[in-house]
Structure 1
Amino acid sequence: MLNLLNRLSGKFLATLLLLSAAASAYSAPKTVLVLGDSLSAEYGLARGTGWVALAEQKLKQNNIEAVVVNASVSGETTSGGRSRLPALLSKYKPDLVVIELGANDGLRGLPVPAAEANLRAMNEAATKADARVMLIGMRMPPNYGRDYADKFFAMYGKLSKDIKAPLVPFMLDGVADKPQLFQPDRLHPLAEAHPTILANIWPQLQKSLKAK
């Protein structure tokens, strides 16, 4: 009888240890690397008022253990992001890489296939580093020509399907058509617009962090 109790106690203890280990792994903080341009780098804004900072606050409010690294740089292109990403992956070892790039390629009229190739290369680098990728898309103003604007916007959807990465189609949805929400340059949103930007991004960000 005593041997049976000892065996049962041993099994119970082993089960508790396994459950504890599983819980620790699940609750371990994840690292989110945001690789973006001025729209994510708080250009013209007070520190802590951009969507990335707001996302970090919301993660804490929702008890989601995550460390957010904002590696966004004003004026960044997909080419610049591609060249910077390997060092960032090595330094921060992120679980999730949020890529918000392409707007400056579009504003400069750079070839869409080149931007797509750079985004694909960034996904490959992240995948090799055991990180998932989430894409944030952008639209070009109509004055850049319908054909170019359509191809630019379609690039994100096509890429998202090809690499099986979650996509926020247009981060400025609900903002782009409201001139009063932009700084005098009419390119960069005011701080008042960033809660709306986060609302566009949050659902996919939350899902991506819950994914294994």
Structure 2
Amino acid sequence: MFLCSCKQDTSKNTTALDETNSKTEVETTENTTSKKIVFFGDSLTAGYGLEDVDDAYPGIIQDKIDALDLDYSIVNSGVSGETTSGGKNRIDWVLNEKPTIFILELGANDGLRGVPLDQSKDNLQTIIDAVKKRYPDTIIILAGMQIPPNMGQDYTTEFKNMFPELAKKNNLHLIPFLLEDVGGIADLNQSDGIHPTKKGHEILAKNVWDVLQPIL
């Protein structure tokens, strides 16, 4: 099962999660609680192609939290087309949200574009370090990703392994594969065969919830 993409990159004949540019606004739930869960990611987190951003997996997580009457609100900081480099550049601004829990979902676009893995790994480490430096008590959850073997088997394998390696090194919680049971399944993706449908996002939410619920 593989991570699919958002836009054809004709220069490399690969695809990328960047149907829209990086101007997607942060969606924040209207809640005065001091406990925030920040989802920091790309179009998967932003809910590209859905009629309502609340149908994306962070919004579904908020519904689960509300049903349990837990004192947390979701901040959806997903930007379509985001790379680890872009995330590194905007992390300081996003951290103004003062997250209690920080869920990092970036790297897919890097892999689909063939960005050198040491560069992607360094960018993710910089983001992790920024969160830890500013808020040492914030819990970080890293979303694992996988890509098709377009860039060769070695690259694909190293990309997949990058996430558990970072999680182990930094003592993070890990979602093994965000798109588990969704990636590559036509009925759970939109007509582009790439972005999850509302039903697909419900499964993404379950994949996240399996890791997040015990923490809450």
Superposition TM-score tier, normalisation by shorter sequence: 0.7 to 0.9
Q: Which has the larger Rg? A: 1
1:100 positional shift: 0.4
Partner in structure 2 of residue 193 of structure 1: 200
Partner in structure 1 of residue 123 of structure 2: 118
1:29 positional shift: 4.5
The amino acid that maps onto 2:71 is E
By relative contact order (CA 8 Å, sep 6+), the higher-ranking structure is 2
Return the alpha-carbon distance in structure 1 between the equivalents of residues 93 and 144 of structure 2: 24
1:132 positional shift: 2.4
Q: Which structure's residues are more often helix, by fraction?
A: 1
- 1:58 equivalent to 2:40? Answer no
- Structure 1 unaligned segments of length 5 or more: list them: 1-27
1:186 positional shift: 2.1
1:178 positional shift: 1.2
Alignment of 1:33-72 (within 5 A): 33-47=38-52, 48-72=54-78
* Length-normalised TM-score, structure 2: 0.80
When structure 1 is superposed on structure 2, of 69-78 and 127-136 the one drifting more is 127-136
Return the alpha-carbon distance in structure 1 between the equivalents of residues 85 and 214 of structure 2: 28
Pairs aligned (count): 181
- Structure 2 unaligned segments of length 5 or more: list them: 1-32
The amino acid that maps onto 2:65 is L
Partner in structure 2 of residue 169 of structure 1: 176
Partner in structure 2 of residue 137 of structure 1: 144
Return the alpha-carbon distance in structure 1 between the equivalents of residues 183 and 159 of structure 2: 16
1:185 positional shift: 2.3
The amino acid that maps onto 1:63 is D
1:30 positional shift: 1.5
**3-state secondary structure, aligned to 1:34:** strand
Return the alpha-carbon distance in structure 2 between the equivalents of residues 129 and 46 of structure 1: 35
Q: Structure 1, residues 113-155: CA drift from partner, whole Å, max 9, x if none?
A: 1111111111111011212211001100133321111000000
Aligned equivalent of 2:85, options 79, 83, 90: 79
* Length-normalised TM-score, structure 1: 0.82
Return the alpha-carbon distance in structure 2 between the equivalents of residues 144 and 63 of structure 1: 45
**3-state secondary structure, aligned to 1:189:** coil
Partner in structure 2 of residue 6 of structure 1: none
